[in-house]
Structure 1
Amino acid sequence: MLVSSAIALLALCATTLAVQSIVVKGSDLVNAVTGNRFQLLGVAYQPGGSSGYNPGSGIDPLSDGTVCLRDAALMQRLGVNAIRVYNVDPDLNHDMCASIFNAVGIYMLIDVNSPLAGESLDRGAPWTTYTSSYLNRTFAVVEAFKSYENTLLFFAGNEVINDLASGGVVPPYMRAVIRDLKNYIAKHSKRSIPVSYSAADVRTILVDTWNYLQCTLTGSSTDPSRADLFALNSYSWCGASSFTTSSYDVLVSDFSSTSVPVFFSEYGCNKPSPRVFTEVPVIYGPLMTPVLSGGMVYEYSEEPDDYGLVQINSNGSAQLLVDYDTLQKQFNTLNVTYLQGLSAQNVSVTPPKCTSSLITTSGFSSNFTIPDVPAGAQTLIDNGISPAPSGKMVPVTASKVSQVVQQSNGDIMQNLAITILADDQSNNPNGASPTSSEASPSATKKKNGGETLKSSLSVLLGVASLAVVCTSFL
């Protein structure tokens, strides 16, 4: 009876204890509690694709707790620790979905833009869309997600610079958006949340884009117009490739002097099909982890472009695809202790000073004069937007998935559920065998890749102190 009560209390508290704060220090993502370097093992999560985003519908990928519970269970079993969500409606309630993903140790990387007119920069004429109204929308996304402990970062842009023409005009405006977001967060969030940019892997302009966004105008790493992280959507590893054939070696060389964390915001070429994900052991191995901080597989749900790991049906049922099984097997080969259990090394890196000599491609912007804040937007930054969306962590009391989910071989998964983590953990690969029809969620059973989680006795001993923590949040 006492053990049952303890477990119930742990489940109730999981929404505030499941993840630890991840911070940017130099060119590393760092677990603020342990001081260890943190590697992203994530998936892109946008069921319905960008075309499915419709603010008038009353739903977005993080608005339906029943759907999120199903997908969180499958992601936890897969072994991911982060999701990237591209299009969200800041006016919807995301409390349950955010709390569910937090409870299973999964962080959220949130884009502040959308494909709708007025909700992103026009890469051909960014000065026409860099307006107070546009910034109000980006700030609304910040307000909606800033209070969730598992919000790891915001993306200020996605492939806005995707060719030389856009490289000639967009960079100053991209830095302006980053500046405005960081200044808004500094004034209106109780904790610092970093801002990143997600770049197109166009090699002729990639290094210039990175240099433009990582350099400092002020001589300090605290320059608000400087990106806190730099990410790229890379699909250069296809099939049974290699470190050199894929040109991953070039990426490592290009970013070896980075002053900000670099990671793949998308990866996972789908040719040939089915995918083999042989890049996974390399991305998370000794050739790349000294420079890159992991990445996000594209993508969770099957869409018309055939990158999905899971087929989601209109009635809410789902079926794992062969790519899910293969990715899980690759994740399960990784050394989690090596990934998440090593002390951060690159925490004191001096950023380069912004100068035209950083830009090597003729036609790419070397103008580091950043546009002023649009008329009326400084008031938003100073006083906050109104009305402001709000979010809060809520108790996650349900764990069992109600929808029918099938294995890739057609067998129905039995007893599919999330495993609520209650010891300040993020999820890691430790999943059930994909050949089994029993759904044994891949909840992390070890802390920092080391000691086994507390026994029933230690659960009992920790109830009193945990109750105090619960009381302070609920």
Structure 2
Amino acid sequence: MFVSKAVALLALCATTFAVQSIIIKGSDFVNSVTGNRFQLLGVAYQPGGSSGYDPSSGLDPLSDGNVCLRDAALMERLGVNAIRVYNVDPDLNHDMCASIFNAVGIYMLIDVNSPLPGQSIDRVEPWTTYTSSYLNRTFAVVEAFKSYENTLLFFAGNEVINDVPSGGVVPPYMRAVTRDLKNYIAKHSTRSIPVGYSAADVRDILVDTWNYLQCTETGDTSDPSRVDLFALNSYSWCGDSTFTTSSYNVLVSDFSNTSVPVFFSEYGCNKPAPRVFTEVPVIYGPLMTPVLSGGMVYEYSEEPDDYGLVQINSNGSAQILPDYDTLQKQFDTLNITYLQDLPAQNLSVTPPKCTSSLITTPGFDSNFTIPDVPLGAQALIDDGISPAPVGKMVPVTATKVSQVVQQSNGDVIQNLAITILADDRSNNPGSVTSSGASPSATKKNGGENLKCSLSVLLGIASFAALWTSIL
């Protein structure tokens, strides 16, 4: 018994410290420990694309630790601090992947829907898909990911409203799904996890969608059907564009009085190619950061639509593509202190009251009465789903990538590995050098190892004393 307890305590030293929770205050993401604002520097992560999601395969993007280790190492070098994952199977185990991304300071943005029948809201006849069975599946995703400290948020929908006809019928259902997810999280999660919506950047309906989803009937933020955040998939900046030519200036103007964080859930137009990513210093510069909270580059892996940063081969090997190099160069120009280490400012913004005057597009729904919870779903919210997936952080002991990974010029990257970040730091450009070393990891990890070693010694001493008294 004494030996097993000692071994268990020693194992704790291999467990990585969790990233600090990101919370929402007003229209800012905020580091819950430091109180500083948080900007997303992320990538969309869906190897195989949406058509590659097949639960019968027993795999999803976050189920294979070896794959996640390879990709986390490349993302850490790139400087990203978040991934968006569109399609996950809640019945699979995601512990190792979640823990690996946590170890390198990368948060996860998780979509609760999938392209399979019955697992998303139909944009033509949403009432046919808003069912207890559908909600059971979305709650299962919450259960699977709620215990990972680096789960930053859930998306209740992605481009479900993408034209005026869908804007005429879908908005109440998006608020209903948001309400149900937030109520489920409030009852069954030990911490609050934000829920939001990822919108199509369709000029005719974008502002109406945002207003419909952020407003409140009561004038405060307590309405659970109100989104905690609003994101948009925007591809208006193409090539070597400008703040005005791309209409980014219009977006900043439109969202200047937002009551929730707004960010790009996708960006990175690929015409012309190769991409130059000149939008990056603008997104993370003084013209946009007072209003927007960063964004997610589309996308990590090369798929048929040619947006990839990395080519993943069938044998597990990978090669960096030129877009990766260009994006990294742009990331490396950013002032990370300006982005992440300044006090949050937009901490209290009054949301608009839900009235028909908020909606300006003819045909877009201006009725804010949302559907009741489907028959049988309230019991799921009250009692929890059963069986419920369970996720937990696990020790990350293997750090070296086993697959062959090449630079864009074909050279093999030698000794590619993740660098475990200490002091609960999120990853950012410059956190890890091109050689894979963290500039300050030795001192930080030394401190954490010392604390861990002292804790283990004290724990072992206590168990020894107890064991001696028993004998």
- Which TM-score applies when normalising by structure 1? 0.92
Q: Counterpart of 2:321?
A: 321
- Please say if residues 78 and 442 of structure 1, whose CA atoms lie closer than 8 Å, have aligned partners that are also in contact: no
Report the Cα offset of residue 406 of structure 1.
0.3
Code of the aligned partner of 1:41: L
Report the Cα offset of residue 440 of structure 1.
1.8
Distance 1:469 1:429, change over 3 A: farther
Inter-partner Cα distance in structure 1 for 2:399 and 2:73 = 9
Q: Counterpart of 1:208?
A: 208
- Please say if residues 237 and 268 of structure 1, whose CA atoms lie closer than 8 Å, have aligned partners that are also in contact: yes
Equivalences for residues 24-423 of structure 1 within 5 A? 24-423=24-423
Code of the aligned partner of 2:57: S
SS of residue matched to 1:203: coil
- Please say if residues 263 and 293 of structure 2, whose CA atoms lie closer than 8 Å, have aligned partners that are also in contact: yes
Code of the aligned partner of 2:240: A
Q: Counterpart of 2:443?
A: 454
- Please say if residues 79 and 331 of structure 1, whose CA atoms lie closer than 8 Å, have aligned partners that are also in contact: yes
Further displaced range: 279-288 or 459-468? 459-468
SS of residue matched to 1:153: strand
Report the Cα offset of residue 441 of structure 1.
2.6
Further displaced range: 156-165 or 452-461? 452-461
- Please say if residues 13 and 452 of structure 2, whose CA atoms lie closer than 8 Å, have aligned partners that are also in contact: no
Inter-partner Cα distance in structure 1 for 2:351 and 2:82 = 27
SS of residue matched to 2:333: coil
- Please say if residues 422 and 444 of structure 2, whose CA atoms lie closer than 8 Å, have aligned partners that are also in contact: no
1:440 to 435, 438, 443: 435
Report the Cα offset of residue 366 of structure 1.
0.2
Inter-partner Cα distance in structure 1 for 2:174 and 2:359 = 16
Distance 1:384 1:96, change over 3 A: same
Give the unaligned 5+ runs of structure 1.
1-7, 434-438, 447-451
Further displaced range: 424-433 or 355-364? 424-433
Inter-partner Cα distance in structure 1 for 2:234 and 2:437 = 27
Report the Cα offset of residue 457 of structure 1.
6.7
SS of residue matched to 1:137: helix
Report the Cα offset of residue 172 of structure 1.
0.2
Inter-partner Cα distance in structure 2 for 1:376 and 1:284 = 45
Distance 1:460 1:103, change over 3 A: closer
1:12 to 11, 14, 22: 14
Distance 1:453 1:404, change over 3 A: closer
Inter-partner Cα distance in structure 1 for 2:455 and 2:160 = 45
Report the Cα offset of residue 194 of structure 1.
0.2
Bigger radius of gyration, 1 or 2? 2
Report the Cα offset of residue 76 of structure 1.
0.2
Inter-partner Cα distance in structure 2 for 1:125 and 1:237 = 33
Distance 1:63 1:458, change over 3 A: closer
SS of residue matched to 1:12: coil
Distance 1:73 1:455, change over 3 A: closer
Report the Cα offset of residue 13 of structure 1.
2.8
Inter-partner Cα distance in structure 2 for 1:380 and 1:456 = 43
Distance 1:455 1:160, change over 3 A: closer
Inter-partner Cα distance in structure 1 for 2:445 and 2:85 = 37
- Please say if residues 43 and 300 of structure 1, whose CA atoms lie closer than 8 Å, have aligned partners that are also in contact: yes
Report the Cα offset of residue 423 of structure 1.
1.1
- Please say if residues 77 and 442 of structure 1, whose CA atoms lie closer than 8 Å, have aligned partners that are also in contact: no
Inter-partner Cα distance in structure 2 for 1:19 and 1:334 = 22
Q: Counterpart of 1:4?
A: none
Inter-partner Cα distance in structure 2 for 1:9 and 1:225 = 42
Inter-partner Cα distance in structure 1 for 2:191 and 2:130 = 26
Report the Cα offset of residue 32 of structure 1.
0.3
Which runs of 4 or more aligned residues in structure 1 lie more than 4 Å from their structure 2 counterparts after TM superposition?
8-11, 455-461, 464-471
Percent identity of the aligned residues?
82
Distance 1:286 1:442, change over 3 A: farther
Distance 1:80 1:467, change over 3 A: farther
Code of the aligned partner of 1:230: F
- Please say if residues 76 and 442 of structure 1, whose CA atoms lie closer than 8 Å, have aligned partners that are also in contact: no
Q: Deviations over 1:23-81 (max 9, x none)?
A: 01000000000000000000000000000000111000000000000000000000000
- Please say if residues 13 and 449 of structure 2, whose CA atoms lie closer than 8 Å, have aligned partners that are also in contact: no
Distance 1:404 1:127, change over 3 A: same
Q: Deviations over 1:396-445 (max 9, x none)?
A: 00000000000000000001000011211100001778xxxxx52375x4
Report the Cα offset of residue 269 of structure 1.
0.3
Q: Deviations over 1:162-203 (max 9, x none)?
A: 000000000000000000000000000000000010000001
- Please say if residues 11 and 420 of structure 1, whose CA atoms lie closer than 8 Å, have aligned partners that are also in contact: no
Inter-partner Cα distance in structure 2 for 1:466 and 1:27 = 39
Report the Cα offset of residue 455 of structure 1.
6.2
